[in-house]
Amino acid sequence: MASGFFAILDDIAALMDDVAMSSKIATQKTAGILGDDLAVNAEKATGFLASRELPVLWAITKGSLLNKAIILPVVFLLSYFVPVAITYILILGGFYLAYEGVEKIVEFLFHRKHHKEAAADVALESAVVQEESLEEEKTKVRSAITTDFILSVEIVIIALSTVRDKDLTTQIITVSIVAILATIGVYGIVALIVRMDDAGYNLMRRSNNKGFISKVGQLLVYLLPLVIKFLAVVGTIALLLVSGGIFVHNIDYFHHLLPELPDMLKEFTIGLVAGIAAVIVITGVKKVVGVFRK
């Protein structure tokens, strides 16, 4: 009886050791996409009122955890019964990410002035501003959760690919650990970024605006808008890189296209072209739908 109990403990220890090693390898494999995930989600989680930053971030984090809860069982089932479906899901997700990336570029190039004028007009009525801000907040949260869903699918599938030769139990535990760590790690770092200015003001207040501590606080306050702008650029580039990477790694034609180009440049170019095509198609569909509604 005792020998059977210790045999079970030995099996559990061996399983945990295998899971730990597999998780380390899977985390290394997903490091690139996690970096893109951080850049994209940090950019999406910024730009809110200071009092709403943490509530918004918590809403996005809960959405991310729900995404993982949906994705994990679906991916395991599809991987076992219909493995080809995962490729098509990734490609559709790639078009969505490319669309988001190009839409940000179009917004910056052609609609920035319009939004500034609109913001100046609505500033005359505070109640309207508050209502629109809440609606804009909900829209941004939904967008962030949707983007997180696509990136989470990519993370889960890459992690799963590193343990395909393992037993099902090891696969489930390993991929689940990587998925949870991805959410905690990414949004934990995002939380630190969005609270930089508050930390800076706190340091300035505690030091009575004197000395080295005060200078550090001023630096944090000064750096936050620069970090946000930087993340906006990096996040947009990351969206196009991730989408291009999906196409390159899952479509043979793109995989062998222009082999002389560096991988990063090729992935960015393909993501950009796919995004432009997606924006043209979706804009055309919206106009057609608008005409019929009139």
Residue 64 has pLDDT above 60, yes or no: yes
Q: Look up residue 8 and give its amino acid.
A: I
Q: Tell whether the torsion through CA atoms of 196, 198, 46 and 147 is positive or negative.
A: positive
Sorted by sequence, the CB contacts under 8 Å of residue 246 that are 6+ apart come out as: 90, 91, 93, 94, 97, 154
- Summarize pLDDT for 243-267 with one digit per residue, the tens: 888 898 888 888 888 888 888 899 9
pLDDT at position 14: 55
Residue 9 has pLDDT above 50, yes or no: no
- The dihedrals phi and psi of 82, each to the nearest 5 degrees, come to -135, 70
Helix residue spans in the chain (DSSP H): 2-29, 31-44, 53-81, 83-106, 112-122, 126-161, 168-194, 196-206, 211-250, 252-255, 263-293
Nearest to residue 44, comparing CAs of 205, 231, 266?
231
Kindly state the average pLDDT of the residues 9-32: 56
Looking at 83-92, 129-138, 236-245, which range is the least confident one?
129-138
Mean pLDDT of all residues belonging to the chain: 78
Q: How confident is the model at residue 189 (pLDDT cuts 50, 70, 90)?
A: confident
pLDDT at position 24: 60
How many CB atoms within 10 Å of residue 122?
A: 14
Q: Per the structure block, which two tokens stand in for 33?
A: 């996409």
Residue 121 has pLDDT above 60, yes or no: no
pLDDT at position 67: 92
pLDDT at position 280: 94
Sorted by sequence, the CB contacts under 8 Å of residue 176 that are 6+ apart come out as: 72
Domain spans, the chain:
2-293
Q: pTM higher than 0.75, yes or no?
A: no
Helices 263-293, 211-250: axis angle to 10 degrees equals 80
Residue 123 has pLDDT above 80, yes or no: no
pLDDT at position 30: 55
